[in-house]
Amino acid sequence: MDDAPSAQPSAQPIAQPIAQLTAQHIARLTARLREGLPSEALLTDPQVTASYATDMAGFCAAGTPAVVVLPRTVEQVQHVLRTAHALRVPVVPQGARTGLSGAANASDGCIVLSLVKMDRILEINTVDRIAVVEPGVVNAVLSRAVAEQGLYYPPDPSSWEQCTIGGNIGTASGGLCCVKYGVTAEYVLGLDVVLADGRLLRTGRRTAKGVAGYDLTRLFVGSEGSLGVVVQAVLALRPAPPRQLALAAEFPSAAAACAAVCAVMEAGLTPSLLELMDHTTVRAVNALGKMGLPETTEALLLAAFDTPQASADLAAVGELCTAAGATAVVPAEDEAESELLLQARRMSLTALDALRPATMIDDVCVPRSRLAEMLDGTAAIARTYDLLIGVCAHAGDGNTHPVVCFDPADEDETRRARASFDEIMALGLALGGTITGEHGVGVLKKEWLARELGPVGLEMQRAVKHAFDPEGLLNPGKLF
């Protein structure tokens, strides 16, 4: 792997849009936008537009948007992109802004294109097992709607009650169920995308199979709004599984918990969830939610199965956990208690965020076989920099979320937080991992993307960007 952080490709560079607009330019832009938008879709009050400037990431620069547009139709999105293209104004697509990498942050003088008003579920087809949705549909709303039809949409980010399908597609998000069901990319069959010049592109299919041409659908998943604006998605669904049952296992060390994870996977078991919380995270969750989790544990492993033989599967996991050194294995007594355990895991990031005035949430994914090294290495980094760093993880797929907690008013602590964040990413790469498993690159990790890809990979990525957006108008300053 070539770790050169700033390799320059030989391909044609991405054009730079106008970074700032004068009052005259903004007036002209606003007038052009009003020609194809209802008045309520266009926000120009600076105090209002400023509230759309950032997502939930820290340490990420953000600019001042010229206007915010909240379209309700594909035609309105096309009008916005045609106007931006004609005037060379950057466009930053946004969902619910629950992202953690700065991918939805505004750039100076941009049009913020918020898709949250395009929130219709257009179709649920129980025969083809698909849903057709607009980008502003909230993940949990879709999940509940398809459940009423006996179907299941697996991707379930921790922010599923707020995050939108469009945002999930933009960052290729995952969730707690990835160990069994995979990530968002595996459920996106087709897309309607408005390109930088306002043209409408249809990719993919509604069929269970299809290999016609390049897979442009997968190209857009994870592109963070830098190639086009998703305005409709065809999503694959699954039959609803049985309700899952869970257990919690306490371990004297993170290494012992990771050994149990490896044993579960090596045994050929397929849990619907396999999550890990370190002692810092457990205590934070208890402080925030009064969950009654065991604070004496160094690592808490949560496993769940949604199989007809869930009780037997959990018993097998319990035996493996005991063999790996678990000090206690506690199966949930019923579905309600299982859901309580999952709720505790879902609130982990929020609970860690409450420990200090600010947090930096990392998202490093390593091979499962190196998970213990990742957790032990992170703990060593926390000691080196004298910082509070809690870790929660989708242990079943090696995706860790080290959360660096610090006080931004303390200049030295902030410096140490930034340095520790970088060391954690370097550790992940050294262990054969990736700088992001599901949160995306955005602003936060674009320097590290170059290190992970190497100069040839970066050149190809920039060439793809140039092919779709030669003027560099879509979400400039993100990814690379």
Domains of the chain (ranges, CATH numbers):
23-116+461-468 (3.30.43.10), 121-239 (3.30.465.10), 245-430 (3.40.462.10)
Q: For residue 18, name the pLDDT band (cuts at 50, 70, 90).
A: low
- For residue 158, name the pLDDT band (cuts at 50, 70, 90): confident
pLDDT at 163 over 50: yes
Res 333: pLDDT:
84
- Checking if the pLDDT of 313 tops 50, the result is yes
Burial label, 47 (beta-carbon count in 10 A; 0-12, 13-18, 19+): exposed
pLDDT tier at 10, thresholds 50, 70, 90: very low
Mean pLDDT, residues 187-207? 98
Is the Cα torsion angle 353, 356, 359, 362 positive or negative in sign?
negative
Indicate the pLDDT class of residue 6, thresholds 50, 70 and 90: very low
* DSSP tag of 242: P
Q: Helix (H, G, I), strand (E, B), or coil: what is residue 431?
A: coil
In this prediction the pTM is 0.92
Return the closest-CA partner of residue 300 out of 271, 266, 261: 261
| Structure confidence at residue 59 (pLDDT) | 79
Q: Give the 3-state secondary structure of residue 113.
A: strand
DSSP secondary structure of 154-181? ----TTTTT-BHHHHHHHT---TTHHHH
- Encoded amino acid at 139, one letter: N
pLDDT of residue 425: 96
Largest CA distance in the chain: 71
- Return the pLDDT at 4: 36
The residue whose two tokens read 């997968």 is 218
**Looking at residues 63-69, what average pLDDT do you find?**
96
* C-alpha–C-alpha distance, residues 207 and 149, integer Å: 19
- CA 59 to CA 359: how far, in whole Å? 9
| Predicted confidence band of residue 14 (pLDDT cuts 50, 70, 90) | low
Nearest alpha carbon to residue 314 among 336, 339, 333: 333
The pLDDT of residue 25 is above 60 = yes
DSSP H or E run through 112: strand 111-114
> What does the alpha-carbon distance between residue 304 and residue 261 come to, in Å, rounded to a whole number?
13
Checking 75-78 for CB contacts under 8 A at 24+ apart, the result is 75/36, 76/36, 76/37, 76/41, 77/113, 77/115, 77/118, 77/194, 77/229, 77/231, 78/194, 78/198, 78/199, 78/200
| pLDDT score at 63 | 94
Cα(327)–Cα(325) distance, integer angstroms: 6
User: Which residue's entry shows tokens 């190497």?
Assistant: 454
Q: Strands 91-94, 111-114: parallel, antiparallel or unpaired by DSSP?
A: parallel
Distance (Å, whole) CA 213 – CA 200: 18
| CA distance linking residue 202 with residue 234, whole number of Å | 11
Phi/psi region, residue 266 (left: phi>0; alpha: psi -120 to 50; beta: rest), is alpha
Helix (H) or strand (E) holding 68: strand 67-69
Rounded-to-integer distance, Cα 389 and Cα 104, Å: 25
Helical spans, DSSP H, in 347-469: 348-353, 371-384, 411-430, 446-468
CA pair distance 141, 129, nearest whole angstrom: 17
The pLDDT of residue 272 is: 96
Provide the mean pLDDT of the chain.
Answer: 93
